[in-house]
Structure 1
Amino acid sequence: MILYEYPFNERLRTYLRLEQLFRRLDELIARSHPLDHHYALVTMFEVMDVAARADLKTDVLKDLEKHKHQFDAYRGNPSISEDVLDGVIAQLDHCFAALSAQSGKAGQALSENDWLMSIRSRVGIPGGTCGFDLPAYYAWQHHAPVQRQHDLQQWATSLGPLANSVYLLLRLMRESGLPQKVAAERGQFQQNLPQGRTFQLLRLAIDPALQLIPEISGNRLIVSVRLMRQEEGGRLVASAEAAAFELTLCA
């Protein structure tokens, strides 16, 4: 199954973008080729760009606190395991403490590294990180893979509290939804959302064998899915076929 996700608000869009960047960063650091480590640095700079929004850290801390209060309300419920509940609340507390202890925005320590910022200033220029432009960076790329990995892991440490917080918030949100099997008639599907409840994320799983691509739109009242088929040359055309898929709404 191919899983598509659609965020209903800008805050969730930011979280999903950060999650994608953090996962890419982890994978690139674990590799050994200098080119992979170059793009690991580029990914760090992308995280800094996304995290530059002034209220991002405040939003994450508020969401961690909100989830903690929600889980605290489950105490004493006989159908809830106290051990599991304590474990989740401990994770929320740990993420909150680590993120709030950081001064400034995520990646603030990286922005104070002049050598890294000299690279960042040139990565947007086509071919701007050639050896004749940045000889020190060119020399670093010839260090042993273990040394480069150590440097990257050290630089990424300042991004760790934000990464762990985003991972936890998205995991809890995804676990809040119940998947349902639905069918699109003539390639179209619409569903009214219940009033009085705010959903933040839609997840859609579809069989790749169908070769259909969902175009998702939605707001607090309704969600709509239009199934598309890709023709030769890449052009997308609306499908008129009936197809089933799995839909999950997460609050």
Structure 2
Amino acid sequence: MPKYIVYEQPISERIRVFLRLESLFDQMSYHERGGSSWDSAAVLSGILDVKALFSRSDLKIEIVKELDRQIATLGKLVKSPEVNREQLDKTLKEFERLAKRLYVLPSQQGPQRNEF
């Protein structure tokens, strides 16, 4: 079985953005373990790239919708005897917690100033 999964031309912009976020978080996680100044620069670059993606007002909405879809899909497994109920409940609670946190975050509308 191949170790890597190759994604070719995702169907929608939403999926492309999700894959980009996944890639950025993986890169930051990798460089976070390094101790060099190059690793620190790579993590900072990743943070700025994620911030740029999140400056889009529709991204928060899309992530909340996707979490809601996942919660609905996983919720259907509650009655299945083959499912580890404890793990499923833990996952559902985490998804619900994340969706609530995202829902209360203010959306960025219009041009934003980047201040540090």
TM-score bucket (shorter structure): 0.7 to 0.9
Please list the CA deviations of residues 34-93 of structure 1 after superposition, one character each: whole Å capped at 9, or x if unmatched.
222122212211112222221000000011111112222223233333223212211211
Secondary structure at 1:4 match in 2: coil
Query: In structure 2, how many angstroms separate the alpha carbons of the residues matched to 1:57 and 1:27?
Result: 25
The two structures have a TM-score, normalised by structure 2, of 0.77
2:74 paired with 1:74: no
Q: Which has the higher contact order (CA 8 A, sep 6+)?
A: 1
Secondary structure at 2:77 match in 1: coil
2:41 paired with 1:41: no
Query: In structure 1, how many angstroms separate the alpha carbons of the residues matched to 2:98 and 2:18?
Result: 15
2:91 paired with 1:84: no
Greater C-alpha Rg: 1
**Which runs of structure 2 are paired with 1:100-119 in the superposition (5 Å)?**
100-104=103-107, 111-113=114-116
More strand by share: 1
The answer for unaligned runs of 5 or more in structure 1 is 106-110, 114-251
Report the Cα offset of residue 27 of structure 1.
Answer: 1.9
The structure-2 alpha-carbon separation of the partners of 1:68 and 1:33, relative to structure 1 and needing over 3 Å to count, comes to same
Partner of 2:54: 51
Is the CA contact (8 Å cut-off) linking 2:57 and 2:107 kept in structure 1? no
Query: In structure 2, how many angstroms separate the alpha carbons of the residues matched to 1:84 and 1:29?
Result: 28
Partner of 1:4: 6
Secondary structure at 2:5 match in 1: strand
**Which runs of structure 2 are paired with 1:22-171 in the superposition (5 Å)?**
22-104=25-107, 111-113=114-116
Instruction: Calculate the aligned-residue CA RMSD, in Å.
Output: 1.9
- The one-letter amino acid of 2:32's match is I
Aligned length: 108
More helix by share: 2
Query: In structure 1, how many angstroms separate the alpha carbons of the residues matched to 2:47 and 2:86?
Result: 36
Is the CA contact (8 Å cut-off) linking 2:28 and 2:46 kept in structure 1? yes
The two structures have a TM-score, normalised by structure 1, of 0.39
The structure-2 alpha-carbon separation of the partners of 1:35 and 1:89, relative to structure 1 and needing over 3 Å to count, comes to same
- The one-letter amino acid of 1:61's match is V
Q: Percent identity?
A: 22
Is the CA contact (8 Å cut-off) linking 2:64 and 2:99 kept in structure 1? yes
Partner of 2:20: 17
Secondary structure at 1:65 match in 2: helix
Secondary structure at 1:55 match in 2: helix
Query: In structure 1, how many angstroms separate the alpha carbons of the residues matched to 2:75 and 2:38?
Result: 46
The answer for unaligned runs of 5 or more in structure 2 is 109-113
Please list the CA deviations of residues 105-143 of structure 1 after superposition, one character each: whole Å capped at 9, or x if unmatched.
5xxxxx441xxxxxxxxxxxxxxxxxxxxxxxxxxxxxx
Query: In structure 1, how many angstroms separate the alpha carbons of the residues matched to 2:94 and 2:101?
Result: 11
